[in-house]
Amino acid sequence: EPEVTQTPSHQVTQMGQEVILRCVPISNHLYFYWYRQILGQKVEFLVSFYNNEISEKSEIFDDQFSVERPDGSNFTLKIRSTKLEDSAMYFCASRTSGVYEQYFGPGTRLTVT
């Protein structure tokens, strides 16, 4: 069964550094999402992406964040200058048209020191 994959599984970075989290959505999916989950807290929406542009974003998704679909398979989340409070699990999700549920990847644990 097709799955959403994410790399790396764990990323450690120093405060102020840039990080890029990578996701490969399911191949025929058209809608892509990033969520984050700070340890012990609920999953929070960051951004949705469709037709090569952001369709919706939350207050969390400020100018430090950006998303890109650089080719036909990858979907990336970039954090330009990481802060300690960016430490969290980041989940990528995707869905196809006409389907309501989103399929989640296994997550990337980001640790900012």
The length of the chain, given as a count of residues: 113
Q: How many CB atoms lie within 10 A of CB 90?
A: 22
At closest approach, how far in Å is the CB of 108 from another protein? Answer: 10
User: How big is the site for another protein, counted in residues (CB under 8 A)?
Assistant: 24
C-alpha distance from residue 83 to each of 26, 56, 76 (Å): 30, 23, 19
Query: Which range touches another protein (CB under 8 A), out of 11-19, 22-30, 47-55, 79-87?
Result: 47-55
Query: Which range touches another protein (CB under 8 A), out of 18-26, 29-37, 64-72, 76-84?
Result: 29-37
